[in-house]
Amino acid sequence: MNFLDREKEFIRAKVLPNFDWARFDLPTEPMPLAKAVQACRVALVTTSGAYLAADQERFDTKSPLGDDSFRVIPKGIDPGAIALAHPGYDTRRAKEDLDTVFPYQLLNKLATQGMIGDVSPRHYSFMGFVPSPERLIWRSAPEVGRLLREDGVDLVILVPS
């Protein structure tokens, strides 16, 4: 039995008896950039469970159904203000090098070096464990898409954790 099969059986035994992985038989159609990367406004969307410890509610890591909400991480925030809440990995180790799960500092460096045009005024964080993703797919993700468009984002870097 491979890793994904073991994980599926674990989730079925502990959380959702009828759980199965979502499958997509065809990849998403490529979407060419309308301009050079050096002219693009770039945002991060992560599943690291990043949130602002002083101002935002931490993600619910105890719910067997996960947490399908998202948090907004504004541009210019001190990286030390960002906390991590996720049941699927050691957040203490990731916090020692935040860029491994939320490459916020690296993105700002790329903008300073002229490798990208601009950093979005907002980034978005989800918690990656959501075994029943209907509300995520139909509510949270479209809302983040609307906000990205509102911010004039040309390119999103998806950072799975």
Q: How far is CA 52 from the centre of its chain?
A: 14
Phi, psi angle pair for 159, to nearest 5°: -120, 95
What digits encode the pLDDT tens for the residues 48-60? Answer: 999 999 999 999 9
The span from the CA of 127 to the CA of 109, in Å, is 25
Instruction: Give the pTM.
Output: 0.89
Cβ atoms of 128 and 86 within 8 Å: the answer is yes
pLDDT of residue 62: 92
Q: What is the per-residue pLDDT for 22?
A: 79
User: So what's the pLDDT on residue 21?
Assistant: 83
pLDDT of residue 132: 85
Q: What is the pLDDT along the chain (161 residues), one digit of tens a residue?
A: 888 889 889 888 888 888 888 778 888 888 899 999 999 999 999 999 999 999 999 999 998 888 999 999 999 999 999 999 998 888 999 999 999 999 999 999 999 999 999 999 999 999 988 888 889 999 999 999 999 999 999 999 999 98
Q: What is the pLDDT of residue 7?
A: 85
Number of Cβ within 10 Å of residue 12's Cβ equals 14
